[in-house]
Amino acid sequence: MTEEPYRWLEAMGNRREYVREQLKDGSPCFAVSLPDGLLLLGVGMGGGVSKVFEIHDRVAMAALGHPADIERVRQAAIDAAHLEAFARAPEDVSLRRLVAYGLSGQIKQAFEQLFSAPVLAEFLLVEVASVASRDLLVRLRFDGTFVAREGGIAVVAPDPDVERSAARWLEDALAGVTGREAAIGVLLEAWERLQKGGSLSSAGAPGAVPGESPRFPPAGRTPELAWLRRGAGKAARYEWIPMAPPALSAPQP
């Protein structure tokens, strides 16, 4: 039946709908470029299932979706990055090439093979640079499409509209914020609001509503925080941040 173009389009539409349905309860993840480094935050279910991962010296990943599919893509990214680093040099590992010439094609192929399982996960990949404005933040979708931006904020959420509204809200909320702890507070608040309301389009400023500040840690959930340190020193920039209660008041520059 898929030999007919119309049938194929219909099958792809059904598949897209199926994947979105599977991802609808996924927990959003965030990435923020700050002067001293790049911050990644995800809030998972705990129990040994993670959402935030180190890929290579300057590259990290956060994801939502099925743990087995996240793992498959994570392994593919780590394999490709280390192969490149060993064959050439660690400095030659580039997120742009890793996504554009590796992961994107593999995920697209999985999505379009109608009689095999698609990747039930969506991704946020980041690469720290020497200055914040050159950091690379890539949003990679379940069908292999991706959007890259330099510096700023990136969000991965199950619903595209929610994702856009969250990114806009965070742009405002994090304007002028340079401290890591303050940024963590805002990101946790964004996550909590998304869980409650589903969208941040009509939400007020962070911490504006008394009593509405996010709980710490979110009940029954495990916040995961990673930091890609900027600057000289050790080649591996990834650090796991142990959770400490952040300042939950309005962010301070």
Partner 1 sequence: MTSEPAAVPAAPVSIPGDFLSLLQRGAVAPMARVAAGAPEETRATTVFAFHFSGGVLMAGDRRATAGNQIVTDRVEKIIELDDTSLLAIAGVPATAFEMARVLQTSFEYYRRSQLQPLSLPAKVRALARLLRDNLPMTLQGVGIVVPLFAGVDWTVNPPAPRIFFYDPLGAQFQAVHHASSGSGSGTIRSILSFQERYGDPAPAAMSDRQAITFALRLLAVASEFDSATGGVNPAARQFATLKILRPEGVESVNDAAQAEALAP
Taking a C-beta distance cutoff of 8 angstroms, is the pair 121, 66 a contact? yes
Cα distances (Å, whole numbers) of residue 174 to 71, 179, 185, 219, 249: 31, 10, 10, 24, 13
Distance CA 186, CA 31 (A): 12
Of the pair 61, 186, the CB lying nearest partner 1 is at: 61
Distance CA 228, CA 52 (A): 12
Of the pair 55, 154, the CB lying nearest partner 1 is at: 55
Restricted to residues 219-248, the positions that interact with partner 1 (CB under 8 A) are: 234, 236
Question: Considering only 22-30, 53-61, 111-119, 168-176, which stretch makes contact with partner 1 by CB under 8 A?
Answer: 53-61
Question: 16, 82, 149, 168: which one contacts partner 1 (CB under 8 A)?
Answer: 82
Query: Which amino acid, 123?
Result: F
Taking a C-beta distance cutoff of 8 angstroms, is the pair 86, 92 a contact? no
Question: 75, 113, 130, 133: which one contacts partner 1 (CB under 8 A)?
Answer: 75
Structure tokens of 110? 């999985």
Distance CA 13, CA 1 (A): 15
Question: Considering only 14-22, 82-90, 160-168, 208-216, which stretch makes contact with partner 1 by CB under 8 A?
Answer: 82-90
Q: Does the footprint of partner 1 cover residue 69 (CB under 8 A)?
A: no
Question: 11, 85, 114, 250: which one contacts partner 1 (CB under 8 A)?
Answer: 85
User: Helix, strand, coil proportions of the chain in percent (round to 5)?
Assistant: 40, 25, 40
Q: Does the footprint of partner 1 cover residue 86 (CB under 8 A)?
A: yes
To the nearest whole angstrom, how small is the minimum distance from the Cβ of residue 52 to partner 1? 11
Of the pair 56, 193, the CB lying nearest partner 1 is at: 56
Question: 26, 34, 43, 50: which one contacts partner 1 (CB under 8 A)?
Answer: 50
Q: Does the footprint of partner 1 cover residue 12 (CB under 8 A)?
A: no
Q: Does the footprint of partner 1 cover residue 54 (CB under 8 A)?
A: yes
To the nearest whole angstrom, how small is the minimum distance from the Cβ of residue 82 to partner 1? 5
Query: Which amino acid, 214?
Result: P
To the nearest whole angstrom, how small is the minimum distance from the Cβ of residue 53 to partner 1? 8
Q: Does the footprint of partner 1 cover residue 104 (CB under 8 A)?
A: no
Q: Does the footprint of partner 1 cover residue 6 (CB under 8 A)?
A: no
Taking a C-beta distance cutoff of 8 angstroms, is the pair 226, 60 a contact? yes
Contacts of 77 (CB under 8 A, 6+ apart): 55, 59, 61, 98, 102, 103, 125
Q: Point out which residues bind partner 1 (CB under 8 A).
A: 50, 53-56, 75, 78-79, 82, 85-86, 234, 236
